[in-house]
Amino acid sequence: MQYRSLGKSGLKVSAIGLGTNAFGKRADKETSIRIVHEALDSGINMLDTANIYAGTQSESIIGDALAGRRHEAVLATKAGLPMGQGANDRGSSRFHLQRELEGSLRRLKTDYVDLYQIHTFDPGTPLEETLRTLDDFVSAGKVRYIGASNYAAWELMKALGISERLGLDRFVCTQASYSLADRTPESELIPLCLDQGVGLIPYFPLAGGILTGKYASAGEAAPEGSRAETDPSFRRFLGGRADELGRQTAALADELGVQPAVLAIAWLLARPAVATVIAGATKPEQLQANLAADALRLSEDALGQLDRISDGFRGGDPFAVYRLP
Catalytic residues: 53
Query: Phi-psi category of 192—alpha, beta or left, where left has phi over 0 and alpha has psi -120 to 50?
Result: alpha
Name beta bridge partners: 171.
146
- Read off φ and ψ for residue 312, nearest 5 degrees: -70, -5
Q: What is the DSSP string of 110-175?
A: SS-EEEEEESS--TTS-HHHHHHHHHHHHHTTSEEEEEEES--HHHHHHHHHHHHHHT---EEEEE
Report strand pairing: 16-19 vs 12-14.
Answer: unpaired
Contact 230, 255 (CB under 8 A): no
Q: Indicate the burial class of 317 (C-beta count within 10 angstroms; 0-12, 13-18, 19 or more).
A: exposed
Alpha helices in the chain (DSSP H): 29-41, 57-65, 94-108, 127-139, 153-166, 189-196, 227-230, 241-256, 260-269, 284-295, 300-309
